[in-house]
Amino acid sequence: MEIGNRRSRLRRTDVAAFAVLLALTVTLPALYVSAERVVYSSDYAGFQDAAVNTALELRERLASGVHATLGLAALVWRSTGWDYSLFPAVLPAPLMLAVHGGRVAYIVTCSVLYLLPFVLLLGATAAMLATLIALALVAFLRDMRFERRSTAAAIGVSLAVAILFRRHFAYPALSLLGVIGVHTAERRAAAATYQIRSVCRPRGGR
């Protein structure tokens, strides 16, 4: 029963955190773009124009029938040879057509469709990679003398995979390897000192 309550609280926390993140994703870009007083050019205008044109093309094709609507896919494919491909406009176009908005609607739509999933994916990836570092640490703490070969393998694989996906994890990985190296050196030095003292100690000494 207690585990079920914890899961329920966790899900509520996740939903609340996602709601806050979604609200920030919509509110902050909307406030920022609303305060702008500039003339957009180059890519700043090109991608928005592509999204607007795609939305208008979609509206016309929807009125013409299913066959014309499906033909929009061929148009998007041909746009790969243009200065501005229509692929980034495929997702924002229907929403822009629904809300009938301008620059604010375009930026907010792109933030929700592209930025928000990217942030969530980045967070999940960071959590996974941090878990790999933690697994390496746990493997070391469970067998600090490396009495099992699997310990070194687990540490090596965990750190290698973490660095492979994100090179910045090389820093905590190197820190962990440094700690392991210092600990191993201290343990071996202590063992060597004990052996020397055992050899040098007189047999009849106290």
The distance in angstroms from the start CA to the end CA of the chain is: 63
**Residue 27 pLDDT grade (very low, low, confident, very high; cuts 50, 70, 90):** very high
Residue 1, C-beta contacts closer than 8 angstroms, at least 6 positions apart:
none
DSSP conformational letter for 91:
T
Give me the pLDDT at residue 6, please: 57
Comparing C-alpha atoms, which of 77, 48, 74, 78 is closest to residue 61?
74
DSSP state at residue 82:
S
- 170-200 vs 149-165: helix axis angle to the nearest 10? 150
Record the pTM: 0.64
Give the model confidence (pLDDT) of 62-120 as tens digits. Answer: 888 888 778 888 888 888 888 888 888 888 888 888 877 688 989 999 999 999 999 99
Beta strands in 3-82 (DSSP E): none
pLDDT tens sequence across 39-78: 888 888 888 888 888 888 888 888 888 887 788 888 888 8
> pLDDT by residue (tens digit) across 177-195?
999 999 888 888 887 787 7
Say what percent of the chain tops pLDDT 90: 28
The domain segmentation of the chain, as residue ranges, is 2-116, 122-200
